[in-house]
């Protein structure tokens, strides 16, 4: 079972690239962030023709998440069911006994800003979502744009960047609390020393070539699923892209036999 995460930065603009990538990689489940589309305008028809079921929760202009899957999910939930749901940042789907949770964690703008406090609150709320709704023993995969690079290996210049948004001790504390509940970073499990990045700011010229990147997109799983994982990788193949953007793919494979 192959699962992927992709921050599309506008699914309607990314459809040609997305459909081509689905056809070549044939992932079983794809978690999308920043779809930037209201539910009524989600491109269901095109994705159905591409062979994928669509579960989505969007809003006008900003945010928006979706889970595409080869098979029909038995259950779909979106949001926390509280005031955090003003922004479309969480969707979950159940496939048999496996829950897949897709999050677009707030970016946080600047550590001195109100948006940064909101980011920390959002991560804490997500921690409650997991601890109240699941057990660490459950088969659960958490995928998404976390907007946090957890370790020094995950940013291009850890000394200079420490304290920046997406690489900040308070973010590390918040995310570690969720991790300690029962998650394993599947990419790190398979690549403990690999300093690869999932995100390159498209405002930085030749960021990919120069290695000016961050690993902020993740596939984490509970222990029972981590044991079944057989590999994880980041797809930076330029073949897929028509123009520089925040093209972010991370994938993991699980043996569910």
Catalytic residue flag (residue 145): yes
**Sole binder of DNA in the list 159, 192, 243, 257 (CB under 7 A):** 243
Residues 131-190 that bind DNA (CB under 7 A): 160-161, 164
Q: Report the C-alpha gap between 175 and 169 in whole angstroms.
A: 10
Binding of DNA by 210 (CB under 7 A):
yes
Binding of DNA by 212 (CB under 7 A):
yes
Torsion, Cα of 82, 83, 88, 90 (10° steps): -40
CB of 222 to DNA, least distance (A): 27
CB of 183 to DNA, least distance (A): 23
Compute CA distances 140 → 9, 110, 151, 173, whole Å.
26, 31, 23, 22
Binding of DNA by 255 (CB under 7 A):
no
Give the binding range for DNA (CB under 7 A) out of 6-14, 75-83, 189-197, 231-239: 6-14
Binding of DNA by 115 (CB under 7 A):
yes
Give the binding range for DNA (CB under 7 A) out of 12-20, 22-30, 183-191, 218-226: 12-20
Q: Report the C-alpha gap between 185 and 142 in whole angstroms.
A: 9
CB of 90 to DNA, least distance (A): 14
Catalytic residue flag (residue 202): no
**Sole binder of DNA in the list 9, 53, 224, 240 (CB under 7 A):** 9
CB of 32 to DNA, least distance (A): 12
Structure tokens at 91: 């969707």
Binding of DNA by 86 (CB under 7 A):
no
The residue with tokens 């949770």 is 101
Given 28, 52, 77, 104, the catalytic residue: 104
- State which H helix or E strand residue 141 sits in: strand 140-145
Question: What does the per-residue mask of binding to DNA show for 21-50, with x meaning CB under 7 A?
Answer: -------------x-xxx------------
Torsion, Cα of 214, 217, 222, 225 (10° steps): -110
Helices (H), ranges, 4-105: 11-25, 44-49
Binding of DNA by 224 (CB under 7 A):
no
Given 28, 77, 145, 185, the catalytic residue: 145
Binding of DNA by 202 (CB under 7 A):
yes
Binding of DNA by 121 (CB under 7 A):
no
- Which is nearest to 119 in space by CA: 136, 101, 103? 103
Q: Report the C-alpha gap between 88 and 57 in whole angstroms.
A: 6
CA dihedral over 13, 36, 131, 112, signed as positive or negative: positive
Question: What Rg, from alpha-carbon coordinates, does the chain have?
Answer: 17
Among all residues, which ones are annotated catalytic? Answer: 104, 145
Can you give the binding site for DNA, defined by CB under 7 A? 9-14, 34, 36-38, 60-62, 106-109, 115, 160-161, 164, 201-204, 210, 212, 243-246
């Amino acid at each position: 079972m192959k699962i992927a995460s992709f921050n599309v930065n506008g699914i309607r603009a990314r459809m040609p690239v997305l459909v081509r990538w689905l056809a070549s990689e044939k992932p079983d489940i794809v978690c999308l962030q920043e779809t930037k589309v209201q539910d009524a305008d989600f491109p269901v028809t095109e994705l159905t023709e591409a062979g994928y079921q669509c579960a989505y929760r969007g809003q006008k202009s900003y945010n928006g998440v979706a889970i595409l899957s080869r098979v029909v999910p038995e259950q779909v939930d979106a949001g926390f069911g509280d005031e955090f749901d003003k922004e479309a940042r969480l969707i979950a789907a159940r496939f048999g006994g496996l829950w897949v949770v897709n999050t677009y964690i707030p970016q946080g703008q600047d550590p001195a800003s109100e948006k940064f406090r909101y980011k920390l609150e959002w991560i804490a709320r997500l921690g409650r979502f997991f601890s109240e709704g699941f057990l660490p023993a459950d088969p659960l995969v958490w995928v998404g744009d976390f907007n946090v690079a957890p370790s020094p290996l995950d940013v291009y210049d850890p000394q200079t960047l420490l304290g920046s948004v997406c690489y900040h001790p308070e973010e590390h504390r918040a995310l570690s609390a969720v991790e300690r509940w029962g998650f394993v970073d599947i990419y790190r499990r398979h690549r403990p020393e690999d300093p690869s990045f999932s995100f390159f700011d498209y405002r930085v010229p030749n960021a990919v070539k120069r290695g000016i990147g961050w690993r902020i997109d993740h596939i984490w799983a509970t222990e029972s699923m981590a044991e079944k994982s057989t590999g994880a990788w980041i797809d930076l193949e330029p073949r897929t892209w028509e123009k520089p953007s925040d093209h972010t793919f991370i994938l993991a494979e699980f043996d569910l036999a």
